[in-house]
Amino acid sequence: MLDDRALNRALLARQHLLARTGDDVPTVVEHLVGLQAQNPWSPFVGLWSRVEGFSTRDLDAALLARTVVRVAAMRSTVHLLTARDAPVLTALARPVMTRELTANPRRRAAWDVVDLDRLVELAAAYVRSEPRVTTDLGARLAQEWPAAHPQDLSAFARALLPLVQVTPRGLWRHPAATTWTTLDAWLPEAAAGADLRDDEARRCALETVVLRYLAAFGPASVADVQAWSGLRGLREVVDGLRDRLLTLPAVPARPGGRTRELLDLPDAPRPDADVPAPVRLLPDYDNVWLSHAQRSRVVDDAHRRALQTPNGRMPAAVLVDGSVRATWVLERGRAGERGTRRTTATLTVTPLERLSPRERRDVLAEAERCVRFVADDADAHAVRYAG
């Protein structure tokens, strides 16, 4: 029977967080079925924590070569996906994105009166002719529906069309407004093969995604897959795969509770629960602690509740012995007299519980490496432990 510690080690092994991998950026992004990327810097830190010798130039090169793209997919959030994955995953996410929009009363009212087919036609033509920033897209659509809020109209376009955030947005040290074009304009060859309107094609795509999710996040339950993807009704899909999966019992979430049923790939790594786990610094919204309905394998319930904010923002986290036991934040400043001032970067670690002297040393050592990575443009670097 698997307990949280055994599930933790399986997750870390599959996420390249027990040992960094030497694979290139597209290979890692594809294995992980994407990295969450609302903030442009997040996937850089996520890859640095997982890839040996990773350089910011590696991800910049992949974005410029269009082997990876930034696009809304799972849970209706922006992810870094490979060019091969983006067409299928955005098509599967379409119901999630429309459901999220229509849950908002104001947008639901506008949704019911806007000609959505016409909106898709206008929005696609507008951003295909030239990539457009969000405000321009909303303003163009408002010419057709002046009673609707431009922000709502641009959100409708994002929900109904696979819209890519084009470079330089997402490049390291290249701040840029969110600028959109359609996936088929940005990746014409990759997008041409993603047609999931046929029920059988969609079912095959869902089966493939479930198997890949288990390879990156398993062992997991049906509820876990649905929490990661935002999709509903996956029980039937998973049941159709049972002859290809292992069924593993897991310790109940609460004393006296029911034994949970978890599913996994037969040949997926399941390391011993006592395998050492190195300290890792993760970015905000990292999928490793957002991709299960029950997250106790990587963050205990008390810490998870303490880290929750009203707007759903997630902090950057520190894994100690495989679990979220601290947070970190980067602060920038200047030091010295005018004319000789130097830029400074301080990474502050705030523990969520008392760490042992050895754990603290390991955290500070990894934080020293991280601050030099994330603040590669600073003249001076420091690490502060706020415990």
Comparing 228-232, 333-337, 338-342, which segment has the lowest mean pLDDT? 338-342
Q: What pLDDT, on a 0 to 100 scale, did the predictor assign at position 254?
A: 65
Could you give the CA distance from residue 65 to residue 81 in angstroms, rounded to a whole number? 13
Rounded to 5 degrees, φ, ψ at 155 are: -65, -35
Report the SS3 class of residue 138: helix
pLDDT one-digit tens code per residue, 206-250: 999 999 999 999 999 999 999 999 999 999 999 999 999 999 988
Mean pLDDT of the chain: 93
Comparing 202-216, 323-337, 359-373, which segment has the lowest mean pLDDT? 323-337
pLDDT one-digit tens code per residue, 1-12: 889 999 999 999
Could you give the CA distance from residue 347 to residue 368 in angstroms, rounded to a whole number? 8
Task: Indicate whether 311 pLDDT > 80.
Answer: no
Give residue 87's identity as a one-letter amino acid code.
P
Could you give the CA distance from residue 152 to residue 149 in angstroms, rounded to a whole number? 5
Structure tokens at 196: 């999931």
